[in-house]
Structure 1
């Protein structure tokens, strides 16, 4: 009985530790290593990390950005970060910056000489899998979209969509990736790709379609776990969808809304392409920045998830 109680107390202690501390704890003994690397423990630790940020009244979220002229940050989900190299045959890096685990992928062969028309990365809860989405313009107003499952490591064509993508990186919200596009009639829309159902759908806009035309540089982002529309100019409006996919739930935030602060993690990558071949080492340099400039940056959560 004492051993059972001791094991339960140990779990309660370990679950509260940061990833860097847990990595060191794995070296203590085989039983600790087995516990920390178990799927059950990893999921519990991930959920606790989400809740710790969610109920922090002073913090909006932790976000990740990259400053590297040869790389594009595609997205982040459950602690994994996806980066596309703009050179080196357009390789893709999926890794956990805290555990230093890295996995290399390749884009489809026909996409190695031009940047994707759209891309996105997220978690499919129905299959417990992570998916990378990329699209390439095939002809006028047509984009061929493909998906790569990390479990299968096989590219599949989803379909050709009759859109021009105005925003290139998909914003992850409610299990779907979101972009602003123009259709064949040049009408601006918000579309979403559901990662579990593997289908596209249109997301209703606030007050019809006017808000997208109002900004010459309209963007999508996340505020308080909700999808939002904003412009980069300080005087632009910010619309937030309080209830997902419900038109009536869009709310215009006050111009002088007091933003909570976000912790911005900048990916510190080598200036050359060596990180695609070797251990990336220490990825992060932390900084605290005002939220309104980064609401389109993907949300990062501390986790033990392996790519």
Structure 2
């Protein structure tokens, strides 16, 4: 059976799902947590080897705007969290076309909000984190746990947010916020400990926070990027975090991992049957130069078998009859 795992785990998600209909033993194997995690690990390794894939929302469907107001909350392990409207959230795996609608957040929607999505390895659970400014420099945070499907109040913070989507790095979500002295800082929320801490900004003489600065990911590291237009060209300056106390300014002639920003970007589409799928034209549809600032804002994506749905025992005969894509 180990040989079967090694072979099938190399296949794309669509082919793996078809393999579930071969026989009951294969169905049980492919449905197991062990296989799902093995396939996921291989997907991440392929991303590192062949270049990172980012994911973004596709705004136009048949030349009609369908997703205005919809926001990408985050992506982790092949799951994508989307907010169709403020206060509403759903989790989808666009590779398997599974969708799960989450309960509404337990408070009145505010203008100033931030959110994020990630995985907690200590509990083997995925979490949606939402914060809002109840008043100036007073934020309230809630967390939804996918296993229990319930929201939980986790605490107040003396910050003011003006950025929406948290960047997932090293098991924590990160946002730019203002403290009580209106000084801009980076706030980190550890998904396992459920605690906040402040991350120092770059201390080199070349860095002073600018409102155009953004947070993103570069070479699997948290980064601060600044894009500006000068003499008919766009330029991007990037500071990469080496650890939580040290940042490195990348030289303009940096020749590191050419795949650091992205090599392709999937576009996520909503279809009439309320499934979310990856668009077919997923290659070459964005400028993929690592100097393109918007590449850093798109979450990293991997194709996976991770399900957003609550676990239940499926019937092999029923599943095999609908395994075709």
Please give the range of the TM-score, normalised by the shorter of the 2 chains: 0.7 to 0.9
Contact 1:63 1:300 in 2 (8 A): yes
**What is the CA distance between 1:116 and its match in structure 2?**
5.7
**2:63 corresponding residue in structure 1:** none
Matched, 1:231 2:236: no
Q: Residues 94 and 265 of structure 1: is their aligned pair in 2 closer, same or farther, counting only changes over 3 Å?
A: same
TM-score in terms of structure 1 length: 0.87
Q: Pick the structure with more helix per residue.
A: 1
Residue-by-residue CA offset, 1:63-88 (whole Å, 9 max, x unaligned): 1111331310000010000001126x
Aligned partners of 1:226 and 1:43: how far apart in 2? 23
Aligned partners of 1:102 and 1:158: how far apart in 2? 26
Contact 1:71 1:84 in 2 (8 A): yes
Matched, 1:204 2:200: yes
Q: Residues 281 and 94 of structure 1: is their aligned pair in 2 closer, same or farther, counting only changes over 3 Å?
A: closer
Aligned partners of 1:218 and 1:281: how far apart in 2? 31
3-state SS in 2 of match to 1:83? strand
Aligned partners of 1:103 and 1:283: how far apart in 2? 17
Aligned partners of 2:26 and 2:148: how far apart in 1? 30
TM-score in terms of structure 2 length: 0.82
**1:3 corresponding residue in structure 2:** none
Q: Give the aligned CA root-mean-square deviation in angstroms.
A: 1.9
Aligned partners of 2:148 and 2:189: how far apart in 1? 20
Contact 2:103 2:149 in 1 (8 A): no
Residue-by-residue CA offset, 1:246-273 (whole Å, 9 max, x unaligned): 32xx111112435434211111124xxx
Aligned partners of 1:150 and 1:63: how far apart in 2? 23
Q: Residues 281 and 83 of structure 1: is their aligned pair in 2 closer, same or farther, counting only changes over 3 Å?
A: closer
**What is the CA distance between 1:236 and its match in structure 2?**
4.1
Aligned residues: 285
Q: Which runs of 4+ in 1 moved over 6 A?
A: none
List alignment gaps of at least 5 residues for structure 2. Answer: 60-66, 229-233, 309-325
**1:9 corresponding residue in structure 2:** 3
Aligned match for 2:54, one of 60, 63, 70: 63
Matched, 1:139 2:135: yes
**1:269 corresponding residue in structure 2:** 270
**2:17 corresponding residue in structure 1:** 23
**1:241-260 alignment, distance < 5 Å:** 241-243=241-243, 245-247=244-246, 250-258=247-255, 259-260=258-259
3-state SS in 1 of match to 2:263? strand
**1:15-54 alignment, distance < 5 Å:** 15-54=9-48
